[in-house]
Amino acid sequence: MIYIHVPFCKSFCTYCDFYSEIPQEGQFDRYTKQVCDEIRRRSAEIDDHTKTLYFGGGTPSVLPLGDLSRILLTLEECGHGGPYTEFTMEVNPEDIVERGLPYVQSLKALGVNRISLGIQSFNDNLLRWMNRRHDAEHAREAFRLVREAGIGNISIDLIFGLSNLLDEVWDQTISEALALGPEHISCYQLTVEGDSVLAHRLENGDYEEADEELCRKQYDHLCQRLREAGYEHYEISNFCKPGFQALHNSGYWERKPYVGLGPAAHSFSGRGRSWNDAVLEDYGHTEESLSVEDEKVETLMLALRTARGVDGEFLLANCLPENIDPLLREGALVKIGRRYRIPEDHFFVSDQIIRQLI
Ligand code: SF4
């Protein structure tokens, strides 16, 4: 599993505090050179068992195709070339519309077989409030172009948990998403991140956070609409048509090893975690091993995010019966075969449930 972080954005969204830079002259070239050097240096760490490649960001769709090709060629030279079982590229709608059908056709020709479109909302007022560069029409047009290019596995991202998201606007956004028929929908609850514009708005009294009741209402509505439309709710924030679970992200939840390349990218070796510095040039790499306790907590936290849940033997060996039993009695945890899971109607409070277990 390979993750490549593309730390460029043409503008910054109000809620985001990910590491990202507005691209300057010559930076794509220098970035690409560094990623290629890192591939060569860390080639032995790459485990091709789960053969997935994921370009995330930032905004990978701002990267010139020539630079993308150089990275793919370097992977090939090092013995980690395609075809990949799943090759995902995160893209923003406005880049797809600006660069047009030939761009998506080129992505497909380079081996991309899954596109993740950062739509977030189909409401223009909210999109402006988020400082997104696209509007709803761009989102629909981008989706159409990706489909026309022959990409049969499209994921779209949506955001809920905003205090200024009216019920009818949320319902309309879900309807618009369903009308497009994506194979996969990721839906994240807005959180106010440390140094984001939204955090400053909150401080200045220009934004009030949505309370838990409102977030829960929006989440429940989403779950109900997507269930009725035939989507499987296979992870707290992820839904798919049958057979379209994200392989790469599922690997994260199953704690499969992955190598993250590029500034600010994180990696997991199976024994320890490591990450690159969040700077564009000459980024360093820091490693951290995990204690037995860390591993136990991670396994529980990641597995219980999913509908597959956690292995029963693991749960019973690592959690006390006095913590497990009350959750089973109140239906916050259910046993299915040899596994235990948090049922969908308790997903929203999964953090509390996991804290109770550990
Ligand atoms: S949300 Fe995505 S597009 Fe927006 S600033 Fe963050 S990384 Fe860039």
Q: Is there a domain that residue 259 lies in?
A: no
Tell me, yes or no, whether 295 and 231 share the same domain: no
**pLDDT at residue number 214:** 97
Report long-range pairs for 275-282 (Cβ below 8 Å, ≥24 apart). 276/5, 276/38, 278/7, 278/19, 280/7, 280/21, 280/27, 280/30, 280/31, 281/30, 281/34, 282/34
3-state secondary structure of 34: helix
Domain boundary among the residues 189, 223, 253 is at: 253
Q: Same domain, yes or no, for 168 and 221?
A: yes
CA separation, residue 26 to residues 5, 6, 158, 331 (Å): 18, 15, 33, 56
Bridge partners (DSSP) of residue 42 are none
| Ligand 1 pocket check for 58: Cβ under 6 Å | yes
Is the distance from the beta carbon of residue 57 to the nearest atom of ligand 1 less than 6 Å? yes
| Token pair of 40 as six digits | 């060569």
Q: Is 263 within a domain?
A: no
Shared domain check, 327 and 238: no
Phi-psi region of 4 (alpha: psi -120 to 50; beta: other; left: phi over 0): beta
pLDDT at 193 over 90: no
pLDDT of residue 194: 86
* CA–CA distance, 173 with 158 (Å, rounded to integer): 9
Under DSSP, is residue 16 helix (H, G, I), strand (E, B) or coil? coil
Q: Are residues 147 and 227 in the same domain?
A: yes
183 and 313 assigned to the same domain: no
Residue 339 lies in a domain: yes
138 shares a domain with 47: yes
Find the CATH number of the domain harbouring 39: 3.20.20.70
**Do 207 and 355 lie in a common domain?**
no
d(CA 99, CA 106): 11
Whole domain around residue 332: which residue ranges?
A: 291-358
**DSSP string covering 313-324, please?**
HHHHHHS-HHHH
Q: How confident is the model at residue 18 (pLDDT cuts 50, 70, 90)?
A: confident
Residue 262 domain-assigned (yes or no): no
Please give the mean pLDDT across all residues of the chain.
96
What is the tens place of the pLDDT at every residue in 78-99?
999 999 999 999 999 999 999 9
Ligand 1 mutation target, pool 6, 14, 18, most atoms within 8 A of CB:
18
Residue 144 has what pLDDT? 98
Residues 6+ apart with CB under 8 A from 131: 11, 12, 13, 14, 197
Model confidence at 342: pLDDT above 90:
yes
**Ligand 1 contact, 18 CB (< 6 A):** yes
Q: Ligand 1: does its nearest atom lie under 6 Å from the Cβ of 20?
A: yes
Q: Domain check: are 11 and 58 in the same one?
A: yes
CA of 36 to the centre of ligand 1 (A): 24
Residue 282 belongs to a domain: no
- DSSP for residue 79: T
Residues 209 and 323 in one domain: no
Is the pLDDT at 195 greater than 90, yes or no?
A: no
Q: Is the peptide bond before 257 cis (omega within 30 degrees of 0)?
A: no
Residue partners of 322: CB distance under 8 A and separation at least 6: none
Same structural domain, 295 and 227: no
| CB of 9 closer than 6 angstroms to any ligand 1 atom | yes
In a domain, 160, yes or no: yes
pLDDT band of residue 30 (cuts 50, 70, 90) is: very high
Q: Same domain for 333 and 212?
A: no
Of 36, 34, 98, 30, the closest CA to residue 61 belongs to 98
Cα of 41 to ligand 1 centre, how many Å?
A: 29
Q: Identify the domain boundary among 225, 253, 281.
A: 253
Would you mind telling me the total number of residues written for the chain in this entry? 358
User: Is residue 79 in a domain?
Assistant: yes
The amino acid present at 319, given as its one-letter code, is C
In a domain, 267, yes or no: no
Q: What is the tens place of the pLDDT at every residue in 224-264?
A: 999 999 999 999 999 999 999 999 999 999 999 999 999 99
- Does residue 134 sit in the same domain as residue 198? yes
The pair of three-digit structure tokens given for residue 267, joined into one six-digit string: 């990696």
Last residue of a domain, one of 201, 230, 253: 253
Query: How many distinct structural domains can be found in the chain?
Result: 2
